[in-house]
Chains A and B, each alone.
Chain A
Amino acid sequence: MSSVDLEAKIPNNVGLRANKRLTMALEKWQPKFLDWWKTVGPSDFNEDQIYLRTAVGVGQGGWAHFDYVKMPDYRWGIFMADGPDDRKIHFGDNMGNDAWHTVPGEFRNRLRRLIVTQGDTEPASVEQQRMLGHTCPSLYDLRSLFQVNVEEGRHLWAMVYLLQTHFGADGRDEAEALLERNSGDIDNPRILEAFNYPVTNWLDFFCFTTFMDRDGKYQLSSLAESSFDPLARTTQFMLAEEAYHLQTGENGVGRIIKRTGEIMAEDKDPRQEGAIPLDMIQRYCNFWFTGSMDLFGGEDSTNAAEAFAMGLKGRYRESDGIYKDPKALNAEYRLEVPTDDGKLEEKDIPLRRAMNAVLLDAYIADCTRICQRWNRELKKLGVTEEIKLPNRKFNRQQGVYSGYRFNPEGELIDEATWNKNRDTWLPTQADREYVDSCMIKVTEPGKFANYIAPPTKGPNKQPVDFEYVKFH
């Protein structure tokens, strides 16, 4: 079991005290991080006391501490899950060998790229969400937003630790660059396109945390299987925090749907009550779900095959032993692909090349579960309309379906049909204006804007009307 040093300038369980050079490098980066936080992190609110969870260890159950804290004083730490010292590689070409504790030279560039790409998403989402506090639907939700933000900040720390520890001067340069790129910046944007989309209202935020952060869960899960042990253990602990973000999204969209359903059950028009109609919520889900699927990369990918073969990225829960062939050499994956003559045909590709598609399958199953949960809530209210996940081919900008038009049912359509229906499938400017108009700031404890139902309980067993934020 690793020992936790909470007194250090940077709380950690990675033995920073014993590594003076690394400590100095990280302490040099720390003020730059704080500058970044104050400049492009949550706008205002830095003087307010927020009831936040802070990671203080990695043991199950007691790993977090709750208290009021001003966000710039948050103790961003570096934590890794505990694991056996003699871990073996459990998939890919190097299966059975010892896991790596340092970066093998031949995989250096690829591993660095993986860590930088993951690391870049962490500050990006904080930047995307920076204005949301000004339109919070409740104190409860304001706190949730900031909890997500500070923990994404901690995840950035986790990736910077790996870069600075294992990649020398290159790693230090990359750590600087992570603070220099900026979401939506024309000259120096974030690496992945979806992390440059604006998140301007709380429906966007909850869809983001439901769908985009869930992509993060699957990417982190595949890194948590990595043969590079420090990366595996770092991401395993990040997943524990990420679970709260996903729940924030799933419950947040669910509460918006529930409120709309309650109004519909009273035979009222959600628009007349400042709530969000289901067809609009559907369009937002379509947009964020499809944008998130693009983050998985191409369904047929030699890059993905190599990352698996090398042991850098495994399948979802690979170490549970749920896959028949841990080397993935003897199977094929059936993929539906568009043909030049405007049809769809099934093609079998070697399983290794389909690793992104396999991960995407797990993601889609997870999102299906969420939709079912939201719809059960509507059904309980007597509302027969449902939220449906669009087909994986719909509105894709990456992978085998990009460059083609599909309807939400997954049927290949022509450009004219797309243009005619686009506004019924994806959010329009009018939708955005309407949703923005619903964003009324509510800061009285226990009160909620009328477009969202209250949660059933608060974090850390606090009541829903707890004063989650104390304004200065």
Chain B
Amino acid sequence: MSNRLCYVCEGGDCTEMGSGDLFDKLRDLVKEFDPDEERIKIRRYPCFGACEHGVNVTLYPDKVFYSEVTEDDIPSIAAHIKGEGEAPEHLTGKCEPDVEEIIWDMLDSPY
């Protein structure tokens, strides 16, 4: 199983912005080329603290923090996960760096 990890926020604000459907759609697209999670695990995450920029999606260890993700962006995120293309730039750099740092700190756990 892969150590690469994609979190889709399921906090209150992101959920209201449709993160549940985006999660399903992304997971289904990724399953097409990675049915056994050998390349990446897609999981829900409670809240990153960037609620005003939802829907938020992260990629680790790439350390890419996507914000304001809509349904239209999901195919390009899936393509990037697959290795076909860059991370969609218009979705990055929207939230404060200290908010991003918190999630990377947790995932960089020394344990």
Contact = CB atoms under 8 A, between A and B. Distances in A.
Interface stretch (A148-156, A322-330, A390-398, A407-415): A322-330
A365 B111 contact: no
Interface residues of A, number: 32
B107 A322 contact: yes
B86 interface: no
B75 to A, nearest CB: 20
B110 A243 contact: no
Interface string A305-329: 0000000000110001111110010
A364 to B, nearest CB: 10
Given A244-B12, A368-B102, A370-B49, A324 B20 contact: no
B47 A372 contact: no
Given A321-B1, A372-B99, A331 B111 contact: yes
A376 interface: yes
Interface string A326-358: 001001010000000000000000010000001
Interface string A23-63: 00000000000000000000000000000000000001100
A370 B49 CA distance: 7
Contact of B111 (A239, A325, A461): A325
Nearest to B44: A60
A376 B16 contact: no
B10 interface: yes
Interface in B43-92: 43-44, 46-49, 51
Contacts of B3: 321
Q: Is the interface of A mostly helix, strand, loop or mixed?
A: helix
A21 interface: no
A283 interface: no
A457 to B, nearest CB: 8
Contact of A369 (B102, B110, B111): B102
A405 interface: no
Nearest to B20: A61
A290 B48 CA distance: 22
Contact of B49 (A239, A243, A315, A372): A372
B21 to A, nearest CB: 7
A373 interface: yes
A247 interface: yes
A351 B111 contact: yes
A358 B3 CA distance: 20
A322 B99 contact: no
A247 B99 contact: no
A362 interface: yes
Interface in A265-298: none
Contact of B24 (A60, A322, A351, A373): A60
A470 to B, nearest CB: 24
B46 A243 contact: yes
Contacts of A358: 111
Given A61-B20, A320-B41, A322-B5, A365 B99 contact: no
A369 B99 contact: yes
Nearest to B98: A372
Contacts of A143: none
A452 to B, nearest CB: 18
A267 B23 CA distance: 46
A60 B16 contact: no
Interface of A: 60-61, 217, 239, 243-244, 246-247, 315-316, 320-325, 328, 331, 333, 351, 358, 362, 365-366, 368-370, 372-373, 376, 457, 461
Given A60-B44, A61-B15, A331-B111, 11 more contacts: A60-B23, A61-B21, A239-B46, A243-B10, A316-B106, A321-B41, A324-B109, A324-B111, A351-B111, A370-B49, A372-B99
